[in-house]
Amino acid sequence: MNVSNNSRRGFPHWIWQLPLVVLVGLFFAMLYLHFRWLPDESDAPQVIRNARPIISALDRYHRENRTYPSTLDELKPKYTEVIPHPGILVDRPFQYARREGTSDSLWTGTAPYALMVNFAPNGTLLFRPTRDYADLSGMKPGGKPIGEWYLSYID
């Protein structure tokens, strides 16, 4: 008796490909979620709210010491118990840069310090106490002020 391939009973051929299709689908779902959770301009109000205690602590430190701290950790515990997290889904803490001497830096400009959060690949949200961002506005198209902060597309 001759049995052809068409008459064989068993699993259809596509059943063996199903795990591959599921894995590819999961990969693209994870890729979508990864990029959706990257911070962008819509996260700026939360970051700005969470930065207020740091800015207040920096001001109090400056009033008492006539200088700004070298790092944010110098604010603890006298000026703030903890350094708040920016409140965005990815783990990107506040970064702080103090202007050294009379030379301007990319982040501080002429301000005594800069507080920032990296929104890469969507730029950097930056605060300078002088609120002067003129040096950043022409560097890369698309940067813009958000309240007293500036969203710069320089990474």
DSSP, collapsed to helix, strand or coil, labels residue 151 as: strand
pLDDT on residue 54? 96
| Residues in CB range of 121: below 8 A, 6 or more apart | 38, 155
- What is the pLDDT, as a whole number, of residue 132? 87
- Domain ranges in the chain are 11-36, 41-152
Q: CA 43, CA 11: separation in Å to the nearest integer? A: 50
- pLDDT single digits (tens) 44-60: 888 899 999 999 999 99
Q: Percent of the chain at pLDDT above 70? A: 74
Average pLDDT on 7-12 reads 62
- Cβ neighbours, 10 Å, residue 19: 9
Output the CA–CA distances (angstroms, integers) from residue 42 to 79, 88, 112, 127, 155, in the order listed. 29, 10, 28, 17, 18
DSSP string, 32-61: HHHHHTS--GGGHHHHHHHHHHHHHHHHHH
Q: What is the pTM of this model?
A: 0.71
Q: What is the DSSP letter of 109?
A: B
Closest CA to 86 of 121, 57, 43: 43
* Residue 56: CA count within 13 A, CB half-sphere: 13
Q: What is the mean pLDDT of the chain?
A: 80
